[in-house]
A and B are shown apart, each in its own frame.
Chain A
Amino acid sequence: MSAVALGGQRGERPLFRAVELALRPGQLVWLRGRNGRGKTSLLRLLAGLATPAQGAVTCDGQTLRKVGAQWRLHLLYIAHANALKEDLTVGESLHFLGTLHGRKPSAAEITAALTLLGIAHLRHAPVRTLSQGQRRRSALARLALPHPRSVWLLDEPFDALDDEGVQALHKLLSEQSRRGGSVLFTSHQAVALREPEPQVLNLDDFAIAA
C-alpha cells in the first residue's frame, strides 16, 4: 500500500500535503505529529473512509476507488473510538466485529483472543461496566483473532492501556510483523517496541502552515 503526494484536510482547513508513504510487508510505521496535524485524518484516508484533497492512495498500483472491496478484505482499522456497544457483552461485540469482516469467530477463538489481552474473565461482561482500559483491550482483541488482516491501521492503540496491556499489544505487533503483515499506528506515548523497531513518519514535516 502506498500514499503518493497525499494531501488531506479537515473541513475547509488543509492539514498536510505531499505525504509519501509505502507500507511494505513486515513493516511497522509509527505516525507521529502534534495535536491537530491530521494523524487520524491520514489513517482514515488510507482506510478509504475519506477522499484525499490531493494525491492518491494505491494498493498494488491501483487506487482505492478501484480496489475498494478488495482493499477492505486485507485491512483492519481500529479507530480512536472502540466500536463497542454499551449493551452488548465483550464476547458479543467481538463476535459481531469479527463477522463484519467476513469470518465468524468461534467461541474458542474469542476466548483465546481475550486471553491474550488478559481479559478473558470479562467475556460475558456488558461493555458499559468496563473501564476505559478494558474497553481498549476489548477493541484490540480483534487483532488476536485468527486469520488476521495483512494491514493494520491503529489510531492511538496504546491509549488507556496499563503496562500489561502495552506488553500484550507489543506482542501482537511483533507477531504481525513476523508473519509479513504491516502496521501503521499513531501514538503520543513513547513506544518501547524493539522487535522490530518501528519506523517513524512525522506528520509535522508535511504540515501546512496555518
Chain B
Amino acid sequence: MRALFLAVLLRDLRLAARRRIDALLPLVFFVVAISLFPLGVGPEPQTLRHIAPGVVWVCALLATMLSVQHLYAGDQADGSLEQLLLAPQPAVIVAAAKCVAHWLVNGWPLIVAAPLVGLLFDLSGPALQSLVLSLLLGTPVLSLLGGLGAALTLGLRSGGMLLILIVLPLAMPALIFGAGAVVAVDAGESAAGHYSLLGALLIATALGAPLATAAALRISTE
C-alpha cells in the first residue's frame, strides 16, 4: 500500500513540476483576486483588516476549486485511471495520494503566499500567524473535498460548475472556522476553539473523503 501511495504521489508531483505554468495558475489567481479587493473597497485600513480573513479564505477556496477540476480528468482521458483502479490495493490509497499531491502543489503555495497578501490588508503579526495556521489546517480539507467533488463529477458535461456547487456548501464549515480564527485573534481573543474545530474537520474529512472518492471513481468509470 505504501508503494502505491508513494508511486501515485511522486508521479503527480513530477507531472506538476513539468507543467509549472499549470501548477502556478491557482496561486496567481489567488494573489490577483485578493489584490483586487483593496483596489475595489478602498485604502481604509480598518475596513481592509475587517474583510481580510473572509477575502483570503474565499479566494483560497476558489483557487482550490479551479485547480481540483482536472484532478482525475487527465487520468481518465489517457487511460491511467483504469490502471489505477486495477491496482491490487484499495482505490482509497489512490484517492488519498492524489489529494496529498494536490495539496502540496496547490494548497501549500497558498499558505506561503498568505502572509504576503495579508500585508495588503494591514493585518497584524498575530493575525497573520493565525491566518497561516488556519490555512494550514483548512486547505487540506478543501483538497479532500475537492477531490471528492472531482470524482463525483468525472465525465459529466458542465462537471466543473457542478463540482463547485457540490463542494462549496461542504466547505462552508472550514471557511467559517478558518476566517473566524483570524477575526478572533485580531479582536484579541483566543482562537483555540476555531483551531480545534478545524482540526476535527480535517480528521473527519481525511477519514471519510478518500473512501467516498474511491467509490465515486469506481462508479464514474463504469
Are B78's CB and A73's CB within 8 A?
no
Report how far A42 CA is from B84 CA in the complex, Å. Answer: 19
Question: Once A and B bind, how many residue pairs between them come within 8 Å at the CB atom?
Answer: 76
Report how far A50 CA is from B90 CA in the complex, Å. Answer: 16
Are A100's CB and B15's CB within 8 A?
no
Query: Mask for A81-98, Cβ within 8 A of B = 1, else 0?
Result: 111111110001000110
Q: Is B221 an interface residue (CB 8 A)?
A: yes
Q: Is A158 an interface residue (CB 8 A)?
A: no
Are B78's CB and A100's CB within 8 A?
no
User: Distance (Å) between the CB of A129 and the closest chain B CB?
Assistant: 13
Report how far A88 CA is from B78 CA in the complex, Å. Answer: 13
In the complex, which of the residues A81, A96, A99 contacts B79, with contact meaning CB atoms closer than 8 Å?
A81
**Which residues from A are CB-within-8-Å of B222?**
49-51
- Shortest Cβ distance from A81 into B: residue: B79
User: Distance (Å) between the CB of A87 and the closest chain B CB?
Assistant: 4
Q: How many chain A residues touch the partner (CB < 8 A)?
A: 30
In the complex, which of the residues A49, A69, A87 contacts B88, with contact meaning CB atoms closer than 8 Å?
A69
- Shortest Cβ distance from A126 into B: residue: B18
Chain B interface size range: 20 to 34
**Which residues from A are CB-within-8-Å of B90?**
69
CB-CB under 8 A for A49 and B85, given A81-B78, A100-B4: yes
What is the interface of chain B mostly: helix, strand, loop, or mixed? helix
Q: Is B80 an interface residue (CB 8 A)?
A: yes
Query: Mask for B35-62, Cβ within 8 A of A = 1, else 0?
Result: 0000000000000000000000000000
- Shortest Cβ distance from B94 into A: residue: A100
In the complex, which of the residues B4, B18, B19, B78 contacts A83, with contact meaning CB atoms closer than 8 Å?
B78
**Which residues from B are CB-within-8-Å of A79?**
79, 82
Q: Is B89 an interface residue (CB 8 A)?
A: yes
In the complex, which of the residues A69, A82, A96, A104 contacts B89, with contact meaning CB atoms closer than 8 Å?
A69
Are A96's CB and B19's CB within 8 A?
no
Report how far A70 CA is from B87 CA in the complex, Å. Answer: 10
**Which residues from B are CB-within-8-Å of A72?**
86-88
Q: Is A116 an interface residue (CB 8 A)?
A: no
Are A73's CB and B88's CB within 8 A?
yes
Q: Is A61 an interface residue (CB 8 A)?
A: no
Are A87's CB and B4's CB within 8 A?
no
Known: A70-B88, A81-B78. 9 other contacts (CB 8 A): A47-B82, A51-B222, A77-B82, A77-B86, A81-B77, A86-B78, A87-B15, A100-B7, A104-B3
The residues of A with any CB-CB pair to B shorter than 8 Å are: 44, 47-51, 69-70, 72-73, 75, 77, 79-88, 92, 96-97, 99-102, 104
Offer 6 A-B interface pairs, CB within 8 angstroms, sorted by A.
Answer: A47-B82, A73-B88, A81-B77, A81-B79, A83-B80, A102-B87
